[in-house]
Amino acid sequence: MTLHLAIFIIYFLIIFAIGWISLKKTQNESDYWIAGGKLGWFVGGATMTATHTSAGTFVGTIGVIYTVGWSFGWVLISIPLAYFFMVAVLAPRFTRLRQLTLPAFIESRYDSKSARAIAAVIILIATVVYIMAQIVAGGLISNVIFGIPPAYGMVIFTIILLAYTTVGGMIAVVYTDLIQLIIMVIGTLVAVPLAVSHFQSLPNLLLYVNTIKPTTFSWDGMPPAALITVSMAFFLGSIATPEKVTRLFAMKDMPTIRRGILMTIILTTALNLMVFILGLSAMVLFPMLPNGDLTMPIIAKAILPPFIGTLMLAAITSAMMSTVDSLLLVAGSALSEDIYRSMVKPEATQKQRLKIARAGIFIVGTIPLILVLLGIQEGELVQFIVILFTALMGASFFVPVVGGVIWKRANKQGAIAAMVGGVTTSMIWEVLGEPGIEPILPGFLVALVLFVGVSLFTAPPKEETVEKYFEKIE
More reliable by pLDDT, 332 or 192? 192
- Please check the confidence at residue 1 and state whether its pLDDT lies above 60: no
**What length is written for the chain?**
474
Q: What is the spatial distance between Cα 272 and Cα 420, in angstroms, rounded to a whole number? A: 33
Nearest to 245 by CA among 49, 411, 95: 95
The DSSP secondary-structure symbol of 458 reads S
pLDDT of residue 7 exceeding 70, the answer is yes
Do 79 and 85 meet the contact criterion of CB atoms below 8 Å apart?
no
Mean pLDDT, rounded, for 404-414: 93
Domain 2-375 in CATH 1.20.1730.10? The answer is: yes
- Most confident of the following: 181-190, 199-208, 245-254, 332-341: 199-208
pLDDT confidence band for 26 (50 / 70 / 90): low
Nearest-angstrom CA–CA distance, 294 and 137: 9
- Using 50, 70 and 90 to split pLDDT, how confident is the model at 399? very high
Q: Quick one: pLDDT at residue 443? A: 92
> What is the residue-averaged pLDDT of the chain?
79
Cβ atoms of 270 and 262 within 8 Å: the answer is: no
Q: CA torsion angle for 304, 322, 437, 401 (degrees, to 10)?
A: -150
- SS3 for 396-455 is HHHHHHHHHHHCCCCCHHHHHHHHHHHHHHHHHHHHHCCCCCCCHHHHHHHHHHHHHHHH
Where does the pLDDT of residue 400 fall: very low under 50, low under 70, confident under 90, or very high at 90 and above?
Answer: very high
Helix (H) or strand (E) holding 46: helix 41-52
| Nearest-5° Cα angle at 388, 177 to 382 | 60
In the predicted model, is pLDDT for residue 380 greater than 60? no
Phi, psi of 39 (to 5 degrees): -70, 140
Asked if residue 326 has pLDDT above 70, the reply is no
- Listed in sequence order, the residues at least 6 apart from 224 whose beta carbon sits closer than 8 Å to its beta carbon are none
Task: Say what percent of the chain tops pLDDT 90.
Answer: 15
> What are the two backbone dihedrals, phi and then psi, of residue 43, each rounded to the nearest 5 degrees?
-65, -40
Question: Residue 346: CB partners within 8 Å, gap ≥ 6?
Answer: none
Distance between CA atoms of residues 8 and 17, nearest Å: 14
Tens of pLDDT, residues 114-159? 999 899 888 888 877 777 777 777 777 777 777 788 788 788 877 7
User: Is there a contact between 321 and 54 (Cβ–Cβ < 8 Å)?
Assistant: no
Instruction: Enter the DSSP assignment of 358.
Output: H
The stretches of 334-381 forming alpha helices (DSSP H) are 350-373
Residue 21 Cα distances to 25, 61, 162, 167, 350, angstroms: 7, 34, 16, 10, 20
Give the CA angle between residues 63, 68, 74 to the nearest 5°.
Answer: 90
Instruction: Choose between 186 and 256: higher pLDDT.
Output: 256
**Per-residue pLDDT reduced to its tens digit, 192-229:** 888 888 888 888 988 888 888 777 777 777 777 878 88
109 φ/ψ angles, rounded to the nearest 5 degrees: -70, -35
To the nearest 10 degrees (0 to 180), the angle between helices 2-25 and 306-333 is: 30
**Model pLDDT, residue 101:** 78
| Furthest C-alpha separation in the chain | 68
What integer pLDDT is reported at residue 416 of this predicted model? 96
Residue percentage of the chain with pLDDT more than 70: 83
pLDDT at 312 over 80: no
Render pLDDT for 63-115 as a digit per residue (tens, 0 to 9): 777 777 777 777 778 888 889 998 888 888 888 887 777 888 898 899 998 99
- Are 218 and 6 contacting, i.e. CB atoms less than 8 angstroms apart? no
| pLDDT over threshold 70, residue 472 | no
Mean pLDDT of 28-44: 70
What is the tens place of the pLDDT at every residue in 434-467? Answer: 777 888 889 999 999 999 999 999 999 988 888 8
